[in-house]
A and B are shown apart, each in its own frame.
Chain A
Amino acid sequence: KNEVEQSPQNLTAQEGEFITINCSYSVGISALHWLQQHPGGGIVSLFMLSSGKKKHGRLIATINIQEKHSSLHITASHPRDSAVYICAVHSSKLIFGQGTTLQVKP
């Protein structure tokens, strides 16, 4: 079993839909990252959080340390949100989830 599990692996949505991507982990962590990787490969850090909730534009990230679970929400999704979303936890090193491939159709 992977130390960081994401669900779903693939997600297709219609433009405007509310999207949730989940991340569960089994190790002790100092922080959790949500990353976005576009088809070209470059990675953008969306959030780093160790407790509670953060919001940036249409993106919201939450974390429950007791339950070892985090969620990334996208409100009013848009085709340009199509990308791979990666959850990574900072234990002794960064451990990455397998990623969730999101496609938002117009």
Chain B
Amino acid sequence: GAVVSQHPSRVICKSGTSVKIECRSLDFQATTMFWYRQFPKQSLMLMATSNEGSKATYEQGVEKDKFLINHASLTLSTLTVTSAHPEDSSFYICSANQGLGYEQYFGPGTRLTVT
């Protein structure tokens, strides 16, 4: 149980286009979902926290107009990278929390390459 999926697993897009990444909790309801990014050889950095039905809370330094997060249902959150640039190329990972304690379940990640 407690499986989180992400789609796509890998995406290449051209500079200036927008890319949407989906994060789904497959067998549980996720009251809170988290979005992280990870640069090569670096640790995960929290980008934003989203609660179903409310606006996401962004970490300092993360542009909310560039990284649009929607958490429309208890099983789906989306991250849209708008007007992507090569420096947005990174590994994006989501995780989900059932609202019971501190356990987080991580998705497999999405590797974004912007050319």
Contacts and interface: CB of A to CB of B under 8 A. Distances in A.
B68 interface: no
B102 A93 contact: no
A94 to B, nearest CB: 7
B84 to A, nearest CB: 19
Interface residues of B, number: 22
Interface of B: 34, 38, 42-46, 49, 59, 91, 93, 95, 101-109, 111
B46 A98 contact: no
Contacts of A34: none
B98 to A, nearest CB: 13
A94 B111 CA distance: 21
16 contacts: A35-B106, A40-B108, A41-B91, A41-B93, A41-B111, A42-B107, A42-B108, A42-B109, A44-B106, A45-B104, A86-B43, A90-B102, A94-B34, A94-B104, A98-B43, A99-B43
